[in-house]
Amino acid sequence: MSEIIPPIPVPVPSLVPSPVRGAPTWDIDPYSRDVLLNLEAWYDGLRERGPIVWLSHYGCWAIGHFEVVREVFADWQRFGSARGVGLADFAREQPWRPPSILLEVDPPDHDRTRKVMMRTMTPRALAGLEAPMRREAEALVERLLQRDTFDAVKDLAEAYPLKVFPDAVGLNADDREKLLIYGAMVFNAIGPDNEVRRESLANAAAVVPWITAKCARDALIETDLPGSGLGELIYQAVDDDEITEAEAGLLVRSLLSAGIDTTVASLGAALKYFSENPSEWDIVRDDPTQVRKAIEEVLRLSSPVHAFFRTASVDTEISGITVSEGDKIMCVLGAANTDPEKWPDAARFDVTRKAAGHIAFGTGIHVCVGMAVARLEMDAMLTALAERVERIEALEVATWRPGNSLRTLDHGRMRLIAKK
Protein backbone atom coordinates (compact mmCIF):
# COMPACT_ATOMS: atom_id res chain seq x y z
CA MET A 1 0.00 0.00 0.00
CA SER A 2 1.33 3.33 -0.89
CA GLU A 3 0.90 6.31 1.32
CA ILE A 4 1.12 9.86 0.31
CA ILE A 5 4.09 11.31 2.06
CA PRO A 6 3.63 15.01 2.47
CA PRO A 7 6.60 17.07 1.37
CA ILE A 8 8.78 18.25 4.18
CA PRO A 9 8.22 21.97 4.45
CA VAL A 10 11.45 23.82 3.79
CA PRO A 11 11.73 26.85 6.01
CA VAL A 12 12.37 30.13 4.29
CA PRO A 13 15.84 31.04 5.59
CA SER A 14 15.01 34.62 6.43
CA LEU A 15 12.05 33.48 8.56
CA VAL A 16 13.95 30.88 10.55
CA PRO A 17 14.26 32.20 14.05
CA SER A 18 17.89 32.44 14.93
CA PRO A 19 17.78 32.84 18.66
CA VAL A 20 21.25 31.44 18.96
CA ARG A 21 23.31 33.90 16.97
CA GLY A 22 26.78 33.74 18.48
CA ALA A 23 25.86 31.20 21.14
CA PRO A 24 26.76 27.51 21.15
CA THR A 25 23.90 25.11 20.54
CA TRP A 26 23.71 21.79 22.34
CA ASP A 27 21.25 19.02 21.53
CA ILE A 28 21.55 17.25 24.91
CA ASP A 29 18.37 16.45 26.84
CA PRO A 30 19.30 17.48 30.39
CA TYR A 31 16.14 15.73 31.64
CA SER A 32 17.02 12.33 30.24
CA ARG A 33 17.46 9.60 32.82
CA ASP A 34 21.16 9.30 32.01
CA VAL A 35 21.82 12.97 32.70
CA LEU A 36 19.69 13.05 35.85
CA LEU A 37 21.69 10.12 37.22
CA ASN A 38 25.03 11.75 36.38
CA LEU A 39 24.59 15.48 36.77
CA GLU A 40 28.32 16.26 37.07
CA ALA A 41 28.98 15.40 33.41
CA TRP A 42 26.14 17.70 32.33
CA TYR A 43 27.39 20.49 34.60
CA ASP A 44 30.90 20.20 33.17
CA GLY A 45 29.74 20.00 29.55
CA LEU A 46 27.47 23.00 30.00
CA ARG A 47 30.15 25.21 31.55
CA GLU A 48 32.72 24.14 28.97
CA ARG A 49 30.47 25.18 26.10
CA GLY A 50 30.30 28.73 27.33
CA PRO A 51 28.47 31.15 29.61
CA ILE A 52 25.15 30.67 27.80
CA VAL A 53 24.10 27.73 25.65
CA TRP A 54 21.02 27.15 23.47
CA LEU A 55 19.38 23.81 24.26
CA SER A 56 17.88 22.86 20.91
CA HIS A 57 15.98 19.92 22.41
CA TYR A 58 13.74 22.27 24.39
CA GLY A 59 14.23 25.61 22.68
CA CYS A 60 15.52 27.29 25.82
CA TRP A 61 18.77 28.68 27.19
CA ALA A 62 20.95 27.15 29.85
CA ILE A 63 23.55 28.87 32.04
CA GLY A 64 26.06 27.24 34.38
CA HIS A 65 28.83 29.74 35.11
CA PHE A 66 28.67 30.94 38.69
CA GLU A 67 28.76 34.65 37.92
CA VAL A 68 26.18 34.37 35.15
CA VAL A 69 23.68 32.36 37.21
CA ARG A 70 24.14 34.84 40.02
CA GLU A 71 23.53 37.78 37.66
CA VAL A 72 20.30 36.28 36.34
CA PHE A 73 18.95 35.41 39.78
CA ALA A 74 19.88 38.85 41.06
CA ASP A 75 17.88 40.66 38.37
CA TRP A 76 14.17 39.95 38.86
CA GLN A 77 13.24 42.84 36.58
CA ARG A 78 14.81 41.25 33.50
CA PHE A 79 14.38 37.64 34.57
CA GLY A 80 11.00 36.94 36.08
CA SER A 81 9.43 34.06 37.98
CA ALA A 82 5.74 34.74 37.29
CA ARG A 83 5.79 32.61 34.13
CA GLY A 84 6.98 29.67 36.24
CA VAL A 85 10.39 28.54 37.44
CA GLY A 86 10.23 25.41 35.33
CA LEU A 87 10.37 24.66 31.65
CA ALA A 88 6.64 25.30 31.23
CA ASP A 89 5.73 28.89 30.37
CA PHE A 90 2.65 29.81 32.41
CA ALA A 91 1.83 32.45 29.80
CA ARG A 92 1.28 29.63 27.28
CA GLU A 93 0.30 26.55 29.26
CA GLN A 94 -1.94 26.00 32.23
CA PRO A 95 0.18 25.26 35.34
CA TRP A 96 -0.49 21.87 37.00
CA ARG A 97 -1.66 23.61 40.19
CA PRO A 98 -2.62 27.19 41.09
CA PRO A 99 0.78 28.93 41.07
CA SER A 100 2.66 29.62 44.26
CA ILE A 101 2.04 33.18 45.46
CA LEU A 102 5.57 33.21 46.84
CA LEU A 103 7.78 31.54 44.23
CA GLU A 104 5.92 31.88 40.94
CA VAL A 105 5.30 35.59 41.17
CA ASP A 106 7.19 38.88 40.67
CA PRO A 107 7.15 42.14 42.60
CA PRO A 108 5.07 43.91 43.69
CA ASP A 109 2.75 40.93 44.35
CA HIS A 110 5.65 38.88 45.60
CA ASP A 111 6.75 41.31 48.29
CA ARG A 112 3.63 41.21 50.45
CA THR A 113 3.61 37.42 50.73
CA ARG A 114 7.38 37.21 51.10
CA LYS A 115 7.22 39.62 54.03
CA VAL A 116 4.75 37.40 55.87
CA MET A 117 6.90 34.33 55.30
CA MET A 118 10.10 36.10 56.35
CA ARG A 119 8.53 37.11 59.63
CA THR A 120 7.68 33.51 60.49
CA MET A 121 11.30 32.46 59.97
CA THR A 122 13.42 35.10 61.67
CA PRO A 123 16.02 33.83 64.16
CA ARG A 124 13.71 35.03 66.95
CA ALA A 125 10.70 33.19 65.61
CA LEU A 126 12.82 30.06 65.17
CA ALA A 127 14.47 30.15 68.59
CA GLY A 128 11.83 27.82 69.97
CA LEU A 129 12.50 25.25 67.27
CA GLU A 130 16.07 24.60 68.21
CA ALA A 131 15.56 22.53 71.36
CA PRO A 132 12.98 20.12 69.87
CA MET A 133 15.03 19.74 66.69
CA ARG A 134 18.18 18.86 68.62
CA ARG A 135 16.27 16.50 70.90
CA GLU A 136 14.75 14.64 67.94
CA ALA A 137 18.09 14.42 66.14
CA GLU A 138 19.80 13.00 69.23
CA ALA A 139 17.00 10.48 69.77
CA LEU A 140 17.13 9.34 66.14
CA VAL A 141 20.90 8.89 66.26
CA GLU A 142 20.52 6.76 69.41
CA ARG A 143 17.95 4.57 67.70
CA LEU A 144 20.11 4.13 64.62
CA LEU A 145 23.13 3.23 66.79
CA GLN A 146 21.06 0.37 68.21
CA ARG A 147 20.56 -1.05 64.72
CA ASP A 148 23.04 -3.10 62.74
CA THR A 149 22.27 -1.27 59.47
CA PHE A 150 19.81 1.34 58.25
CA ASP A 151 18.81 3.04 55.03
CA ALA A 152 20.30 6.52 54.80
CA VAL A 153 17.27 7.81 52.94
CA LYS A 154 14.23 6.22 54.53
CA ASP A 155 15.52 5.90 58.10
CA LEU A 156 17.36 9.19 58.43
CA ALA A 157 17.21 11.69 55.55
CA GLU A 158 13.42 11.28 55.23
CA ALA A 159 12.54 10.27 58.78
CA TYR A 160 14.07 13.33 60.43
CA PRO A 161 12.53 16.17 58.36
CA LEU A 162 9.21 14.31 58.26
CA LYS A 163 9.16 14.45 62.02
CA VAL A 164 10.52 17.89 62.83
CA PHE A 165 9.27 20.09 59.99
CA PRO A 166 5.56 19.20 60.08
CA ASP A 167 5.80 19.45 63.88
CA ALA A 168 7.13 22.99 63.43
CA VAL A 169 4.35 23.88 61.00
CA GLY A 170 1.69 22.43 63.28
CA LEU A 171 0.50 19.39 61.34
CA ASN A 172 -0.82 16.37 63.15
CA ALA A 173 1.03 13.08 62.73
CA ASP A 174 -1.32 11.42 60.22
CA ASP A 175 -0.08 10.17 56.84
CA ARG A 176 3.04 12.27 56.69
CA GLU A 177 4.57 10.21 53.90
CA LYS A 178 2.07 12.00 51.65
CA LEU A 179 4.23 15.09 52.10
CA LEU A 180 7.09 13.33 50.31
CA ILE A 181 4.81 12.36 47.44
CA TYR A 182 3.61 15.94 47.16
CA GLY A 183 7.15 17.33 47.30
CA ALA A 184 8.17 15.01 44.48
CA MET A 185 5.21 16.28 42.42
CA VAL A 186 6.15 19.91 42.99
CA PHE A 187 9.83 19.46 42.16
CA ASN A 188 9.38 17.07 39.25
CA ALA A 189 6.72 19.33 37.70
CA ILE A 190 9.55 21.82 37.09
CA GLY A 191 10.82 19.67 34.22
CA PRO A 192 9.49 18.60 30.82
CA ASP A 193 6.69 16.08 30.31
CA ASN A 194 9.02 13.12 30.85
CA GLU A 195 8.47 9.88 32.73
CA VAL A 196 9.69 11.34 36.01
CA ARG A 197 7.14 14.13 35.82
CA ARG A 198 4.27 11.96 34.64
CA GLU A 199 4.85 9.34 37.33
CA SER A 200 4.91 11.98 40.04
CA LEU A 201 1.86 13.88 38.82
CA ALA A 202 -0.09 10.61 38.60
CA ASN A 203 -0.34 10.89 42.40
CA ALA A 204 -2.20 14.19 42.24
CA ALA A 205 -5.70 12.83 42.84
CA ALA A 206 -4.53 10.92 45.91
CA VAL A 207 -2.48 13.70 47.47
CA VAL A 208 -3.60 17.20 46.42
CA PRO A 209 -6.93 17.16 48.31
CA TRP A 210 -5.10 15.93 51.41
CA ILE A 211 -2.52 18.73 51.14
CA THR A 212 -5.23 21.34 50.61
CA ALA A 213 -7.06 20.12 53.70
CA LYS A 214 -3.85 20.29 55.76
CA CYS A 215 -3.34 23.94 54.81
CA ALA A 216 -6.60 25.09 56.39
CA ARG A 217 -6.34 27.04 59.61
CA ASP A 218 -8.47 24.66 61.63
CA ALA A 219 -6.34 21.69 60.55
CA LEU A 220 -3.30 23.16 62.31
CA ILE A 221 -2.67 21.93 65.83
CA GLU A 222 -1.08 23.51 68.87
CA THR A 223 2.66 23.00 68.84
CA ASP A 224 5.02 22.68 71.77
CA LEU A 225 6.92 25.69 70.49
CA PRO A 226 6.92 28.86 72.53
CA GLY A 227 4.34 31.05 70.81
CA SER A 228 2.84 29.11 67.95
CA GLY A 229 3.65 27.00 64.90
CA LEU A 230 4.76 28.35 61.54
CA GLY A 231 1.33 27.67 60.03
CA GLU A 232 -0.48 29.60 62.73
CA LEU A 233 2.01 32.48 62.41
CA ILE A 234 1.04 32.76 58.75
CA TYR A 235 -2.66 32.84 59.65
CA GLN A 236 -2.02 35.60 62.16
CA ALA A 237 -1.24 37.81 59.15
CA VAL A 238 -4.90 37.30 58.14
CA ASP A 239 -6.00 38.67 61.49
CA ASP A 240 -3.77 41.67 60.81
CA ASP A 241 -5.36 42.15 57.34
CA GLU A 242 -2.05 41.64 55.53
CA ILE A 243 -3.22 38.64 53.50
CA THR A 244 -6.50 36.85 52.91
CA GLU A 245 -7.44 33.51 54.41
CA ALA A 246 -7.03 31.90 50.96
CA GLU A 247 -3.57 33.42 50.60
CA ALA A 248 -2.58 32.09 54.01
CA GLY A 249 -3.61 28.61 52.88
CA LEU A 250 -1.41 28.95 49.80
CA LEU A 251 1.52 30.11 51.93
CA VAL A 252 1.15 27.08 54.19
CA ARG A 253 1.13 25.09 50.94
CA SER A 254 4.48 26.74 50.10
CA LEU A 255 5.90 25.50 53.40
CA LEU A 256 4.73 21.98 52.65
CA SER A 257 5.95 22.19 49.04
CA ALA A 258 9.46 23.41 49.66
CA GLY A 259 10.18 22.52 53.26
CA ILE A 260 10.69 18.78 53.31
CA ASP A 261 12.12 17.17 50.17
CA THR A 262 14.84 19.82 50.06
CA THR A 263 16.17 18.95 53.53
CA VAL A 264 15.73 15.25 52.75
CA ALA A 265 18.05 15.87 49.80
CA SER A 266 20.67 17.76 51.79
CA LEU A 267 20.74 15.26 54.67
CA GLY A 268 21.05 12.38 52.21
CA ALA A 269 23.91 14.14 50.44
CA ALA A 270 25.65 14.74 53.78
CA LEU A 271 25.50 11.03 54.62
CA LYS A 272 26.74 10.07 51.18
CA TYR A 273 29.64 12.51 51.21
CA PHE A 274 30.75 11.78 54.78
CA SER A 275 30.57 8.01 54.31
CA GLU A 276 32.61 8.29 51.11
CA ASN A 277 35.11 10.76 52.58
CA PRO A 278 35.90 9.47 56.09
CA SER A 279 38.75 11.94 56.58
CA GLU A 280 36.23 14.78 56.23
CA TRP A 281 34.07 13.12 58.88
CA ASP A 282 37.12 12.90 61.17
CA ILE A 283 37.44 16.70 61.00
CA VAL A 284 33.81 17.34 61.96
CA ARG A 285 33.64 14.61 64.57
CA ASP A 286 36.81 15.79 66.31
CA ASP A 287 35.63 19.40 66.26
CA PRO A 288 31.84 19.80 66.03
CA THR A 289 32.30 23.57 65.67
CA GLN A 290 33.18 22.64 62.06
CA VAL A 291 29.60 21.47 61.45
CA ARG A 292 28.47 24.89 60.29
CA LYS A 293 31.10 25.08 57.58
CA ALA A 294 30.51 21.48 56.59
CA ILE A 295 26.81 22.21 56.03
CA GLU A 296 27.70 24.85 53.43
CA GLU A 297 30.05 22.45 51.67
CA VAL A 298 27.35 19.77 51.52
CA LEU A 299 24.96 22.34 50.07
CA ARG A 300 27.51 23.64 47.57
CA LEU A 301 28.57 20.27 46.25
CA SER A 302 25.15 18.62 46.22
CA SER A 303 23.05 21.65 45.19
CA PRO A 304 19.74 20.04 46.24
CA VAL A 305 17.86 22.13 43.68
CA HIS A 306 20.00 21.41 40.63
CA ALA A 307 18.16 23.77 38.29
CA PHE A 308 15.29 26.26 38.27
CA PHE A 309 14.25 28.59 35.43
CA ARG A 310 13.63 32.23 34.88
CA THR A 311 11.82 33.81 31.92
CA ALA A 312 13.17 36.89 30.16
CA SER A 313 10.73 39.77 30.75
CA VAL A 314 12.39 41.97 28.09
CA ASP A 315 14.71 41.62 25.11
CA THR A 316 18.12 41.63 26.74
CA GLU A 317 21.60 40.16 26.71
CA ILE A 318 23.36 37.55 28.79
CA SER A 319 27.14 37.44 28.40
CA GLY A 320 26.83 39.34 25.13
CA ILE A 321 24.21 36.98 23.64
CA THR A 322 20.81 38.33 22.69
CA VAL A 323 17.99 36.80 24.71
CA SER A 324 14.41 37.58 23.68
CA GLU A 325 11.42 38.44 25.81
CA GLY A 326 9.63 35.20 26.69
CA ASP A 327 12.73 33.00 26.43
CA LYS A 328 13.11 30.42 29.16
CA ILE A 329 16.50 30.25 30.89
CA MET A 330 17.54 27.11 32.72
CA CYS A 331 19.67 28.29 35.62
CA VAL A 332 21.83 25.36 36.59
CA LEU A 333 22.68 25.91 40.24
CA GLY A 334 24.61 22.66 40.47
CA ALA A 335 26.92 23.79 37.65
CA ALA A 336 27.39 27.24 39.21
CA ASN A 337 28.28 25.71 42.56
CA THR A 338 30.93 23.49 40.96
CA ASP A 339 32.33 26.13 38.58
CA PRO A 340 36.15 25.77 38.72
CA GLU A 341 36.48 29.52 38.04
CA LYS A 342 34.90 30.10 41.42
CA TRP A 343 35.79 26.95 43.36
CA PRO A 344 39.32 25.50 43.31
CA ASP A 345 39.20 21.69 43.07
CA ALA A 346 35.45 22.15 42.74
CA ALA A 347 34.50 18.46 42.61
CA ARG A 348 36.20 17.70 45.90
CA PHE A 349 34.21 17.48 49.13
CA ASP A 350 36.30 19.63 51.46
CA VAL A 351 34.64 20.71 54.69
CA THR A 352 37.39 23.22 55.41
CA ARG A 353 36.92 25.25 52.23
CA LYS A 354 35.13 28.59 52.11
CA ALA A 355 31.84 27.29 50.69
CA ALA A 356 29.66 30.02 52.17
CA GLY A 357 29.27 31.94 48.89
CA HIS A 358 27.40 29.09 47.17
CA ILE A 359 23.99 29.71 45.64
CA ALA A 360 22.35 26.42 46.57
CA PHE A 361 19.56 28.48 48.18
CA GLY A 362 19.40 30.73 45.13
CA THR A 363 20.09 34.44 45.50
CA GLY A 364 18.14 37.66 45.08
CA ILE A 365 14.55 38.31 46.09
CA HIS A 366 13.52 34.65 45.89
CA VAL A 367 16.44 33.32 47.93
CA CYS A 368 15.20 30.41 50.02
CA VAL A 369 13.00 31.89 52.74
CA GLY A 370 13.37 28.73 54.82
CA MET A 371 17.14 28.52 54.77
CA ALA A 372 17.50 29.17 58.49
CA VAL A 373 15.20 26.23 59.21
CA ALA A 374 17.07 24.05 56.72
CA ARG A 375 20.41 24.93 58.31
CA LEU A 376 19.01 24.31 61.78
CA GLU A 377 17.85 20.80 60.79
CA MET A 378 21.21 20.00 59.25
CA ASP A 379 23.07 21.43 62.21
CA ALA A 380 20.97 19.47 64.69
CA MET A 381 21.50 16.20 62.82
CA LEU A 382 25.18 16.57 61.98
CA THR A 383 25.99 17.76 65.51
CA ALA A 384 24.11 14.80 67.01
CA LEU A 385 26.07 12.47 64.75
CA ALA A 386 29.39 14.19 65.49
CA GLU A 387 28.85 13.74 69.21
CA ARG A 388 28.14 10.03 69.08
CA VAL A 389 29.46 8.53 65.85
CA GLU A 390 33.04 7.54 65.12
CA ARG A 391 32.42 6.56 61.54
CA ILE A 392 29.58 6.49 58.99
CA GLU A 393 30.06 3.32 57.03
CA ALA A 394 28.50 2.85 53.59
CA LEU A 395 27.56 -0.77 52.86
CA GLU A 396 26.74 0.02 49.24
CA VAL A 397 27.18 2.97 46.92
CA ALA A 398 24.42 5.43 47.82
CA THR A 399 22.73 6.25 44.52
CA TRP A 400 20.93 9.35 43.32
CA ARG A 401 17.28 9.29 42.28
CA PRO A 402 16.42 10.94 38.95
CA GLY A 403 14.60 14.19 39.69
CA ASN A 404 13.65 17.07 37.39
CA SER A 405 14.84 19.73 39.82
CA LEU A 406 15.86 18.04 43.05
CA ARG A 407 19.00 16.03 43.43
CA THR A 408 18.08 13.56 46.12
CA LEU A 409 19.39 10.15 47.13
CA ASP A 410 17.40 7.08 46.26
CA HIS A 411 18.80 4.71 48.87
CA GLY A 412 22.01 3.78 50.63
CA ARG A 413 22.51 1.10 53.24
CA MET A 414 24.77 2.33 56.02
CA ARG A 415 26.00 1.58 59.53
CA LEU A 416 26.90 3.96 62.34
CA ILE A 417 29.97 3.00 64.35
CA ALA A 418 29.67 4.46 67.88
CA LYS A 419 32.48 6.38 69.51
CA LYS A 420 34.20 4.46 72.31
Angle between helices 230-239 and 245-258 (to 10 degrees): 160
Enter the DSSP assignment of 246.
H
Out of 31, 79, 165, 187, point to the residue binding ligand OVV (CB under 6 A). 187
Q: Does residue 103 sit in helix, strand or coil?
A: coil
Nearest to 256 by CA among 366, 375, 167, 125: 167
Out of 81, 120, 188, 257, point to the residue binding ligand OVV (CB under 6 A). 257
Query: In terms of CB distance, is 102 or 159 closer to ligand OVV?
Result: 102
Q: Which of residues 267-306 bind ligand OVV (CB under 6 A)?
A: none
Out of 125, 186, 225, 295, point to the residue binding ligand OVV (CB under 6 A). 186
The string over 4-29, giving b where at least 16 C-beta atoms fall within 10 Å of a residue's C-beta and e elsewhere, is: eeeeeeeeeeeeeeebbeebeebebb
Establish if 188 lies at the interface with ligand OVV (CB under 6 A). no
Phi, psi angle pair for 111, to nearest 5° = -70, -35
Query: In terms of CB distance, is 23 or 117 closer to ligand OVV?
Result: 117
Q: How far is the CB of 185 from ligand OVV (least distance, A)?
A: 10
Q: How far is the CB of 172 from ligand OVV (least distance, A)?
A: 21
Alpha-carbon gap, residue 400 to 411, rounded angstroms: 8
- Write the CB contacts of 75 (distance below 8 Å, at least 6 apart in sequence): 364
Q: How far is the CB of 186 from ligand OVV (least distance, A)?
A: 5
The string over 375-404, giving b where at least 16 C-beta atoms fall within 10 Å of a residue's C-beta and e elsewhere, is: bbbbbbbbbbbbebbeebebeeebebbbbb
Query: In terms of CB distance, is 257 or 383 closer to ligand OVV?
Result: 257
Out of 233, 258, 346, 373, point to the residue binding ligand OVV (CB under 6 A). 258
Residues 386, 288: contact at Cβ < 8 Å? yes
Using the contact rule CB under 6 A, the part of the chain among 28-36, 250-258, 268-276, 374-382 near ligand OVV is 250-258
Q: How many Cβ atoms are within 10 Å of 135's Cβ, its own excluded?
A: 13
Residues 90-119, one symbol each (x = binds ligand OVV by CB under 6 A, - = not), give ----------x-xx----------------
Q: How far is the CB of 403 from ligand OVV (least distance, A)?
A: 11
Q: How far is the CB of 114 from ligand OVV (least distance, A)?
A: 10
Q: How far is the CB of 231 from ligand OVV (least distance, A)?
A: 14
Give the HSE-up count for residue 150: Cα atoms under 13 Å, Cβ half-sphere: 22
Q: How far is the CB of 262 from ligand OVV (least distance, A)?
A: 8
Q: How many positions of this chain bind ligand OVV (CB under 6 A)?
A: 8
Query: In terms of CB distance, is 386 or 406 closer to ligand OVV?
Result: 406
Q: How many Cβ atoms are within 10 Å of 118's Cβ, its own excluded?
A: 11
Contacts with ligand OVV by CB under 6 A lie at 100, 102-103, 186-187, 254, 257-258
